[in-house]
Structure 1
Amino acid sequence: MRGENAVRLRPPRNTLDRRAVGWWRAQWLLTTAVPAVTLAVLGGLLEPARTWSLSLAGAVTVVGLACTAFFPRWWFRVHRWEVTDEAVYVRTGFFWQEWRIAPMSRIQTVDTIRGPLEQAFRLATVTVTTASAKGAVTLAGLDHRMAADLAERLTRITRDTPGDAT
């Protein structure tokens, strides 16, 4: 529907917690360190593999450090979320933007997850599961207290919202 009566979504208002940048960087560093160290040890132990293994370890390290410096700040800039009495909204991406909207009447479960790295950064992930074939709506990188409050609020709102969540 186009024209004056078309309804337009405004961008969600909330950003993630700034600590999410450090959390994502730690993930990148771990993801980079495991293959880089493995290749370096392999190159140190096996003479025939030394040249290519150490070169590949260096390349993995350079690419991993570049990704560690760039992507977390980028993701922080493009991730937005909001919860209203009607729906949960999440927008991600820059070139390929994805909007995920979960109407309260469709929410089936609300989960709060805190992995070891998230716990170290005092962060949490809230996962809102619906009957959508696309899967759950995920709010990763939230302050752990805010995530707990949000899960409680979503549970209360969905309980009070008519609908069968199917």
Structure 2
Amino acid sequence: MLSGASGRVEGVETTTLRPPQHRVSRTARWYWAARAAFGWLVLIAVQVIWLVADGDDVGLRLAALVATVIVAVTHVTVMPLWRYNVHRWETTPEAVYTQSGWFKQEWRIAPVSRIQTVDSARGPFEQLFRLANVTVTTASAAGPVRISGLDRETAQRLVDELTANAQATAGDAT
């Protein structure tokens, strides 16, 4: 747990938006790449079947296939590194900070006093990479705060810490 950036404005404690300090697991890069590659492989397989099955306009379909492969390789190579450099998280006794995205980036702060539930989930693909996601639900209209790509142990410690902090913090969680 790291101390947060906070200050006082006319006797009221404030929390400021700032970059969180912790990165997600390095394994998340491989998870994001594999998940993206799976989607691209499905599209490439469809294009290959179409190329082989229909003899008309082979040149145009081959060009489309080559373009798809170039875009896929670029996406699978660049996106995980970019996301890893952006995705960050941090908790303090007062708040949960997250930063996520790659084209559309989002920074969120969830005050601990507003936490309603803390959940951890692992889908089949995340289990393969030994990763977990933590979801912090608050009364915010913006929806829950999600921290994706954590190793299992870090996710469990985070859930335990946030649950204890939320129980120890006075607030109405609404």
**Which TM bucket (shorter chain)?**
0.7 to 0.9
TM-score by length of 1: 0.87
Q: 1:142 to 1:43 in 2, by over 3 A?
A: same
**Structure with the bigger percentage of helix:** 1
Indicate the SS of the match to 2:118: strand
Map of 2:32 onto structure 1: 24
Map of 1:115 onto structure 2: 123
Q: 1:41 to 1:49 in 2, by over 3 A?
A: farther
Specify every segment of 5 or more residues in structure 2 that has no aligned partner in the other structure, as ranges. Answer: 1-7
- Of 102, 106, 110, the match for 1:98: 106
**Structure with the bigger percentage of strand:** 2
- Of 28, 38, 43, the match for 1:35: 43
Map of 1:145 onto structure 2: 153
Report the Cα distance in structure 2 between the residues aligned to 1:49 and 1:85, rounded to whole angstroms: 63
Report the Cα distance in structure 2 between the residues aligned to 1:63 and 1:21, rounded to whole angstroms: 18
TM-score by length of 2: 0.83
Report the Cα distance in structure 2 between the residues aligned to 1:138 and 1:146, rounded to whole angstroms: 14
Indicate the SS of the match to 1:48: coil
Map of 2:92 onto structure 1: 84
Report the Cα distance in structure 1 between the residues aligned to 2:48 and 2:30, rounded to whole angstroms: 26
Map of 1:135 onto structure 2: 143
Per the TM alignment, residue 151 of structure 1 is displaced from its structure 2 partner at its CA by 0.8
Report the Cα distance in structure 1 between the residues aligned to 2:99 and 2:81, rounded to whole angstroms: 16
The alignment covers a number of residue pairs equal to 163
